[in-house]
Amino acid sequence: MDAFFAQAEQASKPSLRGKAVVVGGLGPRGVVATASYEARVFGVHSAMPMAQARRLAPNAAYLTPRGGFYRSISEQVMGLLRELSPLVEPLSLDEAFVDLEAGGAAWDSASARLAGERLRADIRGVTGLTGSVGLAASKMLAKIASEQAKPNGLVLIEPGTERALLAPMSVRTLPGIGPATGDHLRRAGITTVEEIVEAGEDELVRLLGKAHGHGVYAMALARDDRPVVAEREAKSVSVEDTYDVDIHDRLRIGMEVQRLADRCVRRLRGAGLSGRTIVLKVRRYDFSTLTRSETLRGPTDDVAVVREAAARLLEGVDTTGGVRLLGVGVSGLADYTQEDLFALVAQAEAEALEGAGVDDGAEGSEGEGDVPPGVRDAEVAERRWHPGHDVRHAEYGPGWVQGSGLGRVTVRFETPWSEPGRVRTFRVDDPDLEVGEPLPLVRPEVEPGAASVGGVCG
C-alpha cells in the first residue's frame, strides 16, 4: 500500500486530499508513523521525530493513528491476496509477499503482469486506496520492484535482467544493510551493488563477518532462494509507552506497568495465545534500557498472573532519576493456556465487574490510577478528542477531530464520499458530541428508493 496510514486518512477526509498529512505520535517524543507523499516533499519521513517533522512541514495536518481502522483495511487487502494464492506472507499491515505460481495465478511474465494489474484494480475497488505491485522471481527483488513502483504503479523485473538492474543501485538497497553497515562499506570504498560484486566474497566476509558477508554477497548477485512462508509464527506479544515527561514517582511507575500488563494480555488473548515468559522493559532518563524477565511454570493468559510477575520484575529495577519508556511483553508463546484456579477466579471477577457496569481501568480509561473522580472525568473528557479520530454529533452527523484544547474541540463534518465539510467548535463535554466509528472508504451501494446524502468526491 502507498503511504498507507496517510493515504487512508486522506481518503476518509476530503478536505485533506492532495495536502500534506503526517500520522504518528503527537507528543514531544512522538515519531512519524507515515507521511503522505505531499509531506515527503518537505523531507518528512517515517521514524522521524515528530518535532522535526513539524519544523519541516509546519502547515501539514498532524493526526494520531486509528489502528483499528487501518487493520480493517489491511484485512480486506490480505483477503484479496489469499484469493490469488494460498502462500501469502504478511510483513506488516500494508505489505506482503505472495507466491503467484503456487496459486496458479501466474506462470510467466505476461500472466504475472496481468495478475498484478488485476490485483491493483481489486484493491482500489474494495478499499478505495491505491497499492503498488512488484513482480520478480525472488522475495528480495519483488521488494525492490515494489519500492520502484510506488506510488500506484507496477514494476516487473524480467528474469535475466536482475544483475544489470541491481548493479548501479546503492548498497542500502539490499535487505539487511542499514545505516551503520552502509557507512562501514562506504569507508571501504563500496557504495553500489556492483562494487560489492567487484570486491569479492572474501572481502565482504572480512568487512562484515562470515554470515553477514556471505549473505550480502549472495544478494548482490541477485541470489535469494527464501520461500514464501504462509504463516509466520509470532515469537512474542508486547506493548510499550513512551512518556512526554519522565515519570519519577514510583507509585505512578507501578500503575503504568499494571496498565501495560492489562493491554498486553488483551492483545495476547485477541491472538488466541498464551505465554510462559513475562518481560519488563524500562528505558531510564539517561536512555539506558533495562530488560528483566521471569519464566512461569506453564503458559498463561491470565491478567492477574502477568500483572504480579511484571510487578515483581519492577521491584528489581532502579528507577531513580525517572523513566521515559515502559513496556510489558510475553514470550514463549503457545496456542493453549494452562488453566488454574487463579485464572478462573480472575475471569469470574472480571465478568462480575462487567455485569455490574464497573470499569476496572483495563479498557478505555488507560488505567490512570487513584485519581479523584472529578479530576479524572475532566481529564478524560479533554483527552479523548484525538486529532483525526471519528466523532458524531446529534445534529451535524459524522465528522473528525481537527484539534482540541482549553475546554474546546474543533470538528470538521464530512464523510469519505462528500465534498470538504464545514468546521464547528464545541465544548469538550458537549452532550451531543460522541466518539464515532470510521466510515467505509468505498461508498455503500444505495438500495433502490433509499435517499442519499452528499456528493461523490473523486
Where residue 443 falls among pLDDT bands split at 50, 70, 90?
confident
Residues 57-77 pLDDT 10s: 999 999 999 988 999 999 999
Average pLDDT, the chain: 83
pLDDT at 457: 34
Burial class from Cβ neighbours inside 10 Å (0-12, 13-18, 19+) for residue 267 reads middle
Whether the upstream peptide bond of residue 151 has omega within 30° of 0, thus cis, is yes
Cell numbers at 161, concatenated: 535482467
pLDDT at 90: 86
Contact 259, 239 (CB under 8 A): no
Neighbours of 116 (CB within 10 A): 26
Residues 308-341 pLDDT 10s: 999 999 998 999 889 999 999 998 876 544 444 3
Give the span between the Cα atoms of 150 and 243, in whole angstroms: 34
Residues 78-121 pLDDT 10s: 999 999 999 998 888 889 999 999 889 889 999 999 999 999 99
Residues 386-442 pLDDT 10s: 999 999 999 999 999 999 888 999 999 999 999 999 999 999 999 999 999 999 998
142: nearest Cα among 178, 103, 180, 88 = 88
Length of the chain: 458
By annotation, the residues acting in catalysis are 95
In order of 313, 411, 416, 445, 456, the CA distances from 453 in angstroms are: 56, 19, 12, 12, 10
pLDDT exceeds cutoff 50 at 352: no
pLDDT exceeds cutoff 80 at 1: yes
In order of 63, 82, 307, 371, 398, the CA distances from 23 in angstroms are: 5, 28, 31, 31, 21
Task: Return the C-alpha torsion angle 161, 163, 167, 169, nearest 10.
Answer: 70
Contact 271, 234 (CB under 8 A): yes
Where residue 234 falls among pLDDT bands split at 50, 70, 90?
low
In order of 49, 148, 170, 402, the CA distances from 164 in angstroms are: 37, 15, 13, 49
167: nearest Cα among 115, 116, 129, 222 = 222
In order of 277, 296, 341, the CA distances from 306 in angstroms are: 9, 10, 15
Edge-to-edge strand order for the sheet containing 433-435?
422-427, 408-413, 397-405, 390-393, 433-435
How far is Cα of residue 395 from the mean position of the Cα atoms in its chain?
Answer: 34
Question: Which phi and psi (to 5°) does residue 323 adopt?
Answer: -125, 145
Helix (H, G, I), strand (E, B) or coil at 240: strand
Q: What is the mean pLDDT of residues 448-457?
A: 39
Helices (H) and strands (E) in the chain, counts: 15, 16
Q: Is the pTM here over 0.75, yes or no?
A: no
322: nearest Cα among 403, 368, 253, 406 = 253
Contact 119, 129 (CB under 8 A): no
DSSP-derived secondary structure letter, 445: P
Identify the weakest region by mean pLDDT among 98-107, 188-197, 209-218, 423-432. Answer: 209-218
